[in-house]
Amino acid sequence: MMHALALLAQPWKWKDGTEREALRCALARQYSADVFLFASGREALVGLLKALKGPERAEVIVQAFTCLVVPNAILAAGKVPVYADIGPDTLNLDPADVERRITPRTQAIICQHTFGIPADTHRLRALCDRYEILLIEDCAHMMPDKHGPTTVAKDGDAILFSFGRDKAVSGITGGAMLSRRPGLSVQLQAEEGRATSLSLLHIKRLLLYPFVYAIARPLYGMGIGKVLLILARTVGALVPILTSAEKQGTMSPTLHKLPNACAALALTGFQRLTAINDHRRALTTYYFAEAAQRHWTFPKAIHPDLPLQKFPLFMKNAEGIRRALKKQNIHLQDGWSGCTICPPGSPQESVCYTPASNPVAESSATMILSLPTHPTMTEGQAHALAERLDILLKQTI
């Protein structure tokens, strides 16, 4: 928060400065790829898909359990999302179902590492090589560090990172698209070069977010915090994570540069990536042990040394449990539960999704109850959460 405060006092650094190029260089060194920076992860994906030359209305395969912004970006780039089912053990693409969805119009596969659980990129890489399809790794939920996971950000032709508010590294907003194909890099460079700058007012609103949230969060249990956030959005002090148009399944194809101020915040976070990930690993290890001891079900692909963005459990009455915990001022509604296209209430028809077409994703989504691993979550809080959840589950048996 102090870094954001310092940046608020330096408006000449908001649009342009040295930090953006420093972030680009740091990412290039870490992941051995060309780096292109945009104002959000979804814009970075639009930039990549616009850079791909191919038939009109080319298809892009994406998993069914995903965020609305992914199909929005595909459609904004003039392409068509095709949904493949997931594996219940990973919450990621099922390579066998992916192959069934490939057609002569398929141009790319977006491989999402859901909640930081590594996807089977080895099998997907083989599919892409066989059918001459681009493999895009969506690493919005996890940035691997020197300790791994070694299979993430390794096999993709392109790699997407997001610097949104709840991501592994936060710049409040921002996204990076990494390319390992020289020809694709040329096209991406052109897309970034055409991107325009966000207004100073817009950047100021972004930088205000940590302060508004810091004030509102402690007051949330009394209802005051929620009112403050609503008021801040109403008066325009906060930039919404999803615009009204995006919530309806549409996105502008216009691209914007990553503000230097947001790059500065992301760079600071990236320099602390190992510490951030180690904190998440510690909480993952704790939840793993608690879940195993209490016989809670979770995806089998999870192992204790993963820096998970959140720890998903499978519960038969997940929504009822969330409501009961909310009454105790424990808020576990993260937008990734009870929906196949997330958050709940997202329009399915507008983003070309057919209900009942991906049974594993649709079934799993109703049972997911996620436990937080964010940087401000302490092990003591995780212990208290596990105890309250256990008591609640015993009461409902």
Within-domain flag for 243: no
Within-domain flag for 288: yes
Q: In total, how many domains does the chain have?
A: 2
Within-domain flag for 216: no
**Cα–Cα distance for residue pair 80/57, rounded to 1 Å:** 6
pLDDT tens, position by position, 69-114: 999 999 999 999 999 999 999 999 999 999 999 999 999 999 999 9
Same domain, 169 and 296: no
| Bridge partner residues of 14 (DSSP) | none
Same domain, 59 and 187: yes
Within-domain flag for 202: no
**Cα–Cα distance for residue pair 348/164, rounded to 1 Å:** 24
Which two three-digit tokens encode residue 215? 């004030």
Same domain, 183 and 52: yes
pLDDT tens, position by position, 337-375: 999 999 999 999 999 999 999 999 999 999 999 999 999
Within-domain flag for 313: yes
Q: What is the CATH number of the domain that holds 392?
A: 3.90.1150.10
Same domain, 67 and 164: yes
Inter-residue contact 225 to 219 (CB < 8 Å): yes
Q: Lowest mean pLDDT of 4-13, 125-134, 174-183, 217-226, name the range.
A: 217-226
Q: Max CA-CA distance within the chain? A: 60
**Cα–Cα distance for residue pair 79/105, rounded to 1 Å:** 10
**Higher local confidence (pLDDT), 233 or 17:** 17
Terminal Cα-to-Cα distance of the chain (whole angstroms)? 43
Structural domain harbouring 16:
2-194
Same domain, 187 and 294: no
**Cα–Cα distance for residue pair 42/50, rounded to 1 Å:** 12
Q: What is the CATH number of the domain that holds 98?
A: 3.40.640.10
pLDDT tens, position by position, 162-195: 999 889 899 999 999 999 999 999 999 999 999 9
Q: Which of 164, 194, 224 is the last residue of a domain?
A: 194
Give residue 263's identity as a one-letter amino acid code: A
SS3 33: coil
Inter-residue contact 148 to 99 (CB < 8 Å): no
Q: Lowest mean pLDDT of 59-63, 219-223, 296-300, name the range.
A: 219-223
H or E element that contains 234:
helix 224-234
Same domain, 33 and 179: yes
Within-domain flag for 127: yes
Q: Is the dihedral of CA 35, 37, 42, 43 positive or negative?
A: negative
Q: Percent of the chain beyond pLDDT 90?
A: 83
Same domain, 132 and 33: yes
Within-domain flag for 267: no
pLDDT tens, position by position, 257-305: 999 999 999 999 999 999 999 999 999 999 999 999 999 999 999 999 9
Same domain, 27 and 174: yes
DSSP codes of every residue in 272-325: THHHHHHHHHHHHHHHHHHHHHHT-B--TT--TT---SEEEEE-TTHHHHHHHH
The answer for residues whose C-beta is within 8 angstroms of residue 117's C-beta and 6 or more apart is 90, 91, 92, 299, 301, 302, 306, 308
Q: Which of 149, 179, 194 is the last residue of a domain?
A: 194
pTM of the model: 0.95
Q: Which of 168, 194, 220 is the last residue of a domain?
A: 194
SS3 135: strand
Same domain, 159 and 293: no
Same domain, 37 and 176: yes
Within-domain flag for 77: yes
Same domain, 157 and 299: no
Same domain, 299 and 182: no
